[in-house]
Amino acid sequence: MSLLRIIGADEFEAARQAGVFELGLETDGFIHLSSRDQVLTPANIWYVGRTDLSLLVIDESKLTSQVVREPGTGTDELFPHLYGPLNLDAITEVVPFPPNDEGTFDTLPEGI
């Protein structure tokens, strides 16, 4: 199963240089991920107007840290949370994720 992570260009470059992705671990204790059906929700809550975003497509079977599905902020919907670093070899694709003309997100990039 593929999971998704929204990421800014600077954040991804820092992760590539470090060899591991840990964004969110220090502040939240886990890395926020989404399923394909969920990713537009956080995109439209936290990333409106951002034009530097990409989606990391992650092969869940290659993750070396544990994924726990838990309620998201303000919802009972279960979101995948990664409790540990995201090993970069689990990322199968990095896809540009631009907003629409209003700065919001209403569709996924083709092929996701």
pTM: 0.93
Instruction: Say if residues 100 and 49 touch (Cβ distance below 8 Å).
Output: no
Q: Compute the distance between CA of residue 25 and CA of residue 22 in angstroms, rounded to an integer.
A: 6
d(CA 110, CA 32): 22
Burial (0-12, 13-18, 19+ Cβ within 10 Å), 6: buried
Q: What is the pLDDT of residues 52-98, one digit of tens each?
A: 999 999 999 999 999 999 998 778 899 999 999 999 999 999 999 99
What is the CA angle 23-43-57, rounded to 5? 60
Q: Which domains does the chain have, with CATH numbers?
A: 2-96 (3.20.170.20)
